[in-house]
């Protein structure tokens, strides 16, 4: 097994896991309808300001780790709270949380490459 195989499988497997979580979570929303599940839209929408910030400060930030670590920590805390709060529809909440955190992680990954100017 080469290093390229591991990297390629991560770049395919992680987004695929997020897509599977999104599909299962969306399908379970029909079985467990709860209006509180709309709160999961905040997570992808909160990625937009990070993308705008990264586009405006392209190649100008030498170390983006504090910003991105705090962004991901806030995402995890918010999504964990949502899973805890939505008790009536816990199954779709878990899958939507997995999809949302993977989306936020991928967004932070590309934002770091944009801010630092170091591309794979």
Cβ 101 vs Cβ 45: under 8 Å: no
Give the N- to C-terminal CA distance of the chain in Å, as an integer: 20
Query: How big is the chain by its Cα radius of gyration, in Å?
Result: 16
115 or 7: which leads in pLDDT: 115
What pTM, to 2 d.p., does this model score? 0.83
Q: What's residue 12's pLDDT?
A: 66
d(CA 95, CA 99) in angstroms, rounded, equals 6
Using one digit for the tens of pLDDT, what is the confidence trace for 26-78? Answer: 888 788 888 888 898 899 899 899 889 888 988 888 888 888 999 999 999 99
Tell me whether residue 105 is exposed, middle or buried, using C-beta atoms within 10 angstroms of its C-beta: 0 to 12, 13 to 18, 19 or more: middle
74 or 21: which leads in pLDDT: 74
Supply the DSSP symbol for 117.
Answer: -
| pLDDT higher than 80, residue 91 | yes
């Amino acid at each position: 097994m080469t290093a390229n195989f591991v990297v390629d499988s991560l770049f395919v497997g992680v987004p695929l896991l997020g897509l599977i979580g999104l599909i299962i979570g969306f399908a379970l929303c029909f079985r467990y309808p709860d209006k509180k599940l709309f709160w999961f839209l905040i997570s992808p929408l909160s990625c937009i300001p990070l993308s705008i910030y990264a586009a405006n400060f392209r190649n100008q930030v030498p170390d983006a780790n504090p910003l991105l670590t705090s962004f991901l920590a806030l995402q995890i805390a918010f999504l964990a709270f949502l899973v805890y709060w939505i008790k009536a529809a816990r199954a779709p909440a878990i899958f939507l949380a997995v999809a949302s955190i993977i989306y936020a992680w991928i967004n932070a990954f590309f934002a770091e490459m944009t801010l630092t100017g170091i591309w794979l």
